[in-house]
Amino acid sequence: MKKTITMIAALAAFGLLATTSIRAEDKTVTVTGEGKCAKCAMHETATCQNAIQVKEGSKTVTYYLAKNDMSKEFHENLCHGPKNVTATGTVKEVDGKKELTVTKIELAK
């Protein structure tokens, strides 16, 4: 009986921990940095994809924009050369890289 109760408690704690980490990933953030094409300017992808490089302390962090309608429409601003941009959206880690799903993106003022 004690083993069963312990196992149920452990599973509940694990479920709570997993739910908490999922919610942490869905946090809305706003980043301002240098927007550029990951293929043309950075030579990191096989096809055109927006990316934003942001200085965080002493290192540069790259946010690769998830391909959605908003990102695709904005791409013409970045494919011909880097521009300062501000983007808002949710961040998650995909294959060890930060992926930003934008809900708003504009040229920085």
Q: What is the CATH number of the domain that holds 97?
A: 2.40.50.140
Please tell me the distance from the alpha carbon of residue 28 to that of residue 82, in angstroms, as a whole number: 24
Predicted local distance difference test score (pLDDT) of residue 25: 53
Beta bridge partners of 63: 52, 98
Query: What's the domain count of the chain?
Result: 1
What average pLDDT does the chain have? 85
> Does residue 64 form part of some domain?
yes
Predicted local distance difference test score (pLDDT) of residue 40: 93
Predicted local distance difference test score (pLDDT) of residue 14: 60
pLDDT > 70 in the chain, percent: 76
> Does residue 42 form part of some domain?
yes
> Does residue 10 form part of some domain?
no
Predicted local distance difference test score (pLDDT) of residue 31: 95
> Does residue 98 form part of some domain?
yes
Please tell me the distance from the alpha carbon of residue 26 to that of residue 89, in angstroms, as a whole number: 9
Predicted local distance difference test score (pLDDT) of residue 27: 81
pTM reported for the whole predicted model:
0.74
- The answer to whether residue 63 scores a pLDDT higher than 80 is yes
Q: How many CA atoms lie within 13 A of 7 on its CB side?
A: 4
**Residue 45 belongs to domain spanning:** 28-107
> Does residue 66 form part of some domain?
yes
**For 20-36, what is each residue's pLDDT tens digit?**
444 445 688 999 999 99
Q: In whole angstroms, what separates CA 11 from the centre of its chain?
A: 30
Please tell me the distance from the alpha carbon of residue 41 to that of residue 49, in angstroms, as a whole number: 10
> Does residue 73 form part of some domain?
yes
Tell the burial category of 85 from Cβ atoms under 10 Å away from its Cβ (0-12, 13-18, 19+). Answer: buried
> Does residue 47 form part of some domain?
yes
**DSSP H or E stretch at residue 26:** none
